[in-house]
Chain A
Amino acid sequence: MSMTATVGRAHADPHHIGVVVEHPGPAPKRTVTAYGFWVFLLSDIVMFSCFFAAYAVLVSQTADGPKGSEIFEQRNVAIETVCLLLSSFTCGMASIAADVRNRFWFYLGMTVTCVLGLIFLAIEFREFADLVSRGYGPSRSAFLSAFFSLVGCHGLHVSAGVLWLLTMMAQVFAKGFRADVLRRMMCFALFWHALDIIWVGVFSVVYLLGSGV
């Protein structure tokens, strides 16, 4: 064996930095799980950014169909926005309740969050159905394709979030505030808040800026 060939490296750390900050070892599970989910959220945001980019590119390609300013209803969007903002708040309350293991406030917070999410979805669904019935469905023009996919993709995320929310309530009901349930609750809260951030982009870029095109 040639092991003795380079014993000369007496220093374990050849780069003298003076102070070596020792890594403390594997992180606790809660940090690991939430971090992984955080990374997932970032990737999800990158996915959304593609739809935003597509919208920006196609926004003026109306193919003689309606323009944004002709179909967007600012009032609806404002209500949707308020719903989501409030739901982010109630979701935050539910997380605090989960952390202090208070079932009542947890269920209450989650239920309100769920209802607000459903109101949001109902308004969005009505908007889509209305557009389609007027002949302004996604296959009318590239602009409408981009509009429906971007807004619809956010809507699908909210729907998935509602499904997840109900599963979370069921888990707390059946299993209590177990460590793994709390970890999932934390990921859920991150998810819900992140959808809000994306919605800020949606209402600013699609509805407000898009009306100006």
Chain B
Amino acid sequence: MPAAPTVEAMMLGKLDWSAIPFDQPIPLIAGGVVLAGILAVLIWVVVKGHLPYLWHEWITSVDHKRIGVMYILLASMMLLRGGSDAIMMRIQQAIAYQSQGYLPPEHYNQIFSAHGTIMIFFVAMPFVIGLMNLIVPLQLGVRDVAFPTLNSVGFWLTATGALLVNLSLVIGEFARTGWLAFPPLSELSYSPGVGVDYYAWSLQISGVGTLVAGINLVTTVLKLRTKGMNYLRMPMFCWTTLASNLLIVAAFPILTATLAMLLLDRYLGFHFFTNEAGGNVMMFMNLIWAWGHPEVYILVLPAFGIFSEVVSTFSGKALFGYRSMVLATMAICVISFMVWLHHFFTMGAGPDVNAIFGIASMIIAVPTGVKIYNWLFTMYGGRIRFATPMLWAVGFMVTFIIGGLTGVLVAVPPADFMLHNSMFLVAHFHNVIIGGVLFGAFAGFEYWFPKAFGFRLDERWGKLAFWFTFSGFYITFVPLYVAGMLGMTRRMQHYDVAEWRPWMIVAAIGMAVLSIGVICQIMQLVVSIRNREALRDRTGDPWDGRSLEWATSSPPPVFNFAFHPDVRGEDAYWDMKIAAQQQSLEHEEPEYHDIEMPRNSPTGFVCAFFATIMGFALIWHIWWLVILGSLGAFATFVVFAWRDHDEYVIPAAEVAAIDRVNLEERRNLVSMAGAI
């Protein structure tokens, strides 16, 4: 069969000019525009001389706040990419009634696969991980995460994954298998191209990054709390962070193993999931969903935490039922590992297995319901301020209840036999993911932006963005519920059923409204940056917050806190404010000490550079480059291990200078509040 390899094949593997889709204008133009954009930014950076700043302050930074911001930036950019995919699909389904529409099937299939992959792995994940990175150390009252350099490695590996997925736009192709690459379709015999390899290697590499982030945050929460920050005094967001990252640590290895098996099938002719030689495709469904269901809670738990913070702050009250909230969070953390079969009720496990997993799926809705009631009771009797973050929170509660109810509906096996893989299912998970995770991410973004950058976001544009997104969401996804009940299945490139057509058109209109929401969000950013002086937050506490992140200035100094705060109860910062007011602030100067902080390190960036090379080479079967890439990655770690100084010292005088400003502003704030 295979002829003796030519020199070219040895040098370039499967790569040649046919990999560039000259005959397909849409991906080529899209890729070209993105490439031109990146180039333009790069040139601008170099010409303006920002490169050193970028390198020293961001790329090599191991500061959790910077890394958090970069995660969120990555997520936002990928949101635009995934959003473009969504717009294209909605337009296709609106016009492809008894016609081929404008997207050929092989292209349409790549788009829905890329859309799902990008939205879950490169939007939702980095967004929530970014927010956790940014805020959790501040809320715990500590100076950094447990493993700062590893944190940077994690981020850059995630970026590598995103880069590879987007590279598939211009070099080669992406998977046509859906976002979970079910075999046998994803096996070599049915997907001989590089699409599935792009998919699998991007996820393997970014998966390492996610695992690293998970380990880091678990350790941070469990081992690095400030003095007096007992478990039952941690802000809710820290609890949900703990739960979510425990799930990452326990579930992502399952994804890694499953994808590794698929890759072994594809690269070395193994028979895990093939139709031949005893392979079992159903085992793939089983394993991937054993990761997949915990994954949805990995995403939504941090969002629950954000809403808890937001609801309590903007209601001016402590969170109602804090302990039941903690219990519900940890219950979800465990139960989410017991329901995965509800994703393949129809695969034939039989009534006994289906019944048990169906019941478990209904049980998991209970702690979720507890949370909803707690938020409602927190609001009850509070003095609610409907600032933008609070709007997202309230919008979430309404939307998520609907999504949860439809979830419980499809968790009933007989009902699921009707609704499985229909548009109803598509509507369900967008209902929970957009209404839960994305609304949560936006709420967190609006809420903590002033903390990260030192100025608030424009409220008018923020509210516009909320209302457009909120209504756009319903106009888009309610029709999908209807279409699902009319029998429309998911992932259709064209269809011949007249009853579905109107709903697809409405959904496309909804998508337009949603897009206006996104534009408003961008406008909000632009307007706020332009008016940043007017929006400046000098107090560090723009929302009258309750937890420790508001106890330091905005943006916080690298070391976050001049002293590790001493915590005496829940809502630590709130108590400090009250105490300060009652005793009137003592004005004596505290004694400052030198602070040791971890030094910047290019390890993450260099490591990701080699990972990119390695991933690309693996996808295209360029074996010598694979070896080179792995050697490079190993060398990077050895060089890092050889460093002699991994910390630098901020002298006490400098700490004092920075902290004095902060204290002064805070005194003004407190005395002002006292006067009212």
- Are A and B part of the same complex? yes
A residues with a Cβ closer than 8 A to B are 1-7, 9, 11-15, 20-27, 31-33, 35-36, 39-40, 42-44, 46-48, 50-51, 53-54, 57-58, 61-63, 138-143, 145-146, 148-149, 163, 167, 171, 174-175, 180, 184
Tell me the nearest residue of chain A to B282, going by C-beta. Answer: A57
- Would B252 and A58 count as touching, CB distance under 8 A? no
Are B569 and A1 touching (Cβ within 8 A)? no
B673 part of interface (Cβ distance < 8 Å): yes
Asked whether, in the complex, the Cβ of B270 is within 8 Å of the Cβ of A23, the reply is no
Excluding A40-B211, A63-B277, 18 further A-B contacts by CB distance (< 8 Å) are A3-B577, A5-B383, A23-B226, A25-B225, A25-B227, A26-B225, A27-B223, A32-B224, A33-B147, A36-B218, A43-B215, A48-B257, A50-B253, A53-B287, A58-B283, A145-B264, A171-B641, A175-B642
The secondary structure that dominates the B interface is helix
A-B contact pairs, 5 of them (CB 8 A): A3-B544, A14-B570, A47-B254, A48-B257, A50-B257
Which single residue of chain A is at the shortest CB-CB distance from B317?
Answer: A6
Does the CB pair B230–A23 fall under 8 Å? Answer: yes
* CB-based nearest B residue for A57: B283
Q: Do the beta carbons of B278 and A58 come within 8 Å of each other?
A: yes
Does B323 sit at the interface, judged by CB under 8 A? yes
Known A25-B564, A43-B252; contact A5-B146, beta-carbon cutoff 8 A: no
Partner of B316, one of A6, A13, A20, A63: A6
B219, A26: Cβ atoms closer than 8 Å: no
Known A-B contacts A15-B232, A58-B278; the reply to A139 vs B270 at CB < 8 A is yes
The one of B280, B290, B316, B569 in contact with A12, judged by C-beta atoms closer than 8 angstroms, is: B569
Whether A54 contacts B216 by the Cβ 8 Å rule is no
B105 located at the interface, meaning its Cβ lies under 8 Å from any Cβ of chain A in the complex: no
Do A142 and B269 touch (CB < 8 A)?
no
* Cβ contacts under 8 Å, A4 to chain B: 581, 673, 676
Report the minimal beta-carbon distance from B457 to chain A, rounded to whole angstroms: 20
> Does the CB pair A11–B249 fall under 8 Å?
no
- Asked if B47 lies at the interface with its beta carbon under 8 angstroms from chain A, I say no
- Chain B residues with a Cβ under 8 A of chain A: 142, 146-147, 211, 214-216, 218-219, 222-233, 249-254, 256-258, 260-261, 264-265, 268-272, 274, 276-280, 283, 287, 290, 316-318, 323, 383, 544, 564, 567-570, 575, 577-578, 581, 634, 638, 641-642, 644, 646, 669, 672-673, 676
Q: Is the beta-carbon distance between A36 and B264 smaller than 8 angstroms?
A: no
A26 proximity list for chain B (CB < 8 A): 142, 223-226, 564
Q: Determine the distance from Cα of A33 to Cα of B215 in the docked complex, in whole angstroms.
A: 11
Contacts of A63 in B (CB 8 A): 271, 276-278
CB of A1 within 8 A of CB of B672, answer yes
State A14–B578 Cα separation when bound (angstroms): 15
The residues of A that contact B147 with a CB separation of less than 8 Å are 33, 36
Collect the chain B residues with CB atoms within 8 Å of residue A21's CB.
230
Report the bound CA distance from A35 to B220 in whole Å. 10
- Cβ–Cβ < 8 Å partners of B269 in chain A: 138-139
Residue from B142, B278, B570, B676 in contact with A1 in the complex, judged by beta carbons closer than 8 Å: B676
- Give the Cβ gap from B120 to chain A, nearest Cβ, in Å: 20
A180 to B228, CA, bound (A): 28
Q: Cβ of B638: which chain A residues have Cβ within 8 Å of it?
A: 167
Q: Tell me the number of A-to-B contacts counted with CB atoms below 8 Å.
A: 186
Q: Do B280 and A149 touch (CB < 8 A)?
A: no
Indicate if the CB atoms of B271 and A141 lie closer than 8 Å: yes
Instruction: Assess the A46–B318 pair: CB atoms within 8 A.
Output: no
Q: Which 3 A-B pairs have the closest CB atoms?
A: A61-B278, A12-B569, A142-B278
A12 touches B676 (CB 8 A): no
Closest to A12 in B: B569
Residue of B nearest to A163 (CB): B634
Q: Which of B233, B270, B287 has the most A CB atoms < 10 Å from its CB? A: B270
Nearest CB in chain A: distance from B221 CB, A:
11
User: How far is the CB of A36 from the nearest CB of chain B, in Å?
Assistant: 4
CA distance A138 to B279 in the complex (A): 12
Interchain CB contact (< 8 A) of A142 among B251, B256, B279, B316: B279
- When C-beta atoms are compared, the residue in chain A nearest to B256 turns out to be A47
Q: Is the CB of A22 within 8 A of B641?
A: no
Contact of B568 among A13, A33, A50, A148 (CB under 8 A): A13
Is there contact, CB below 8 Å, between B228 and A11? no
Report whether B224 and A27 are in contact in the complex, using a CB–CB cutoff of 8 Å.
yes
Bound: A171/B567 CA distance, A:
40
- A36: which of B219, B260, B261, B568 is its contact (CB, 8 Å)? B219
Taking a contact as CB atoms under 8 Å apart, the answer to whether B272 and A36 are in contact is no
- Report Cα–Cα, A43/B323, bound state, in Å: 28
Residues of chain A with a CB closer than 8 A to B211's CB: 40, 43
Q: Could you tell me the distance in whole angstroms from the C-beta of B533 to the nearest C-beta in chain A?
A: 22
Whether the pair B316, A22 counts as a contact (CB closer than 8 A) is: no
> Could you tell me the distance between the alpha carbons of A62 and B276 in the complex, rounded to whole angstroms?
11
The answer to whether B227 touches A142 (Cβ under 8 A) is no
Contact A23 B280 (CB under 8 A): no
Chain B residue numbers with a CB within 8 Å of A47 are: 253-254, 256-257
Q: Is the CB of A23 within 8 A of B641?
A: no
Q: How far is the CA of A23 from the CA of B224 in the complex (A)?
A: 10
Answer whether A12 and B383 are a contact pair too, CB < 8 Å, given A58-B280, A167-B641: no
Contacting pair B223 A2 (CB below 8 A) = no
Question: In the complex, what distance in Å separates the CA atom of A43 from the CA atom of B212?
Answer: 11
| Other-chain contact of B253, A9, A46, A62 (Cβ < 8 Å) | A46
Distance in Å: Cβ of A105 to nearest Cβ of chain B? 23
B641 touches A43 (CB 8 A): no
Q: Contact at A39–B249, with CB atoms within 8 Å? A: yes
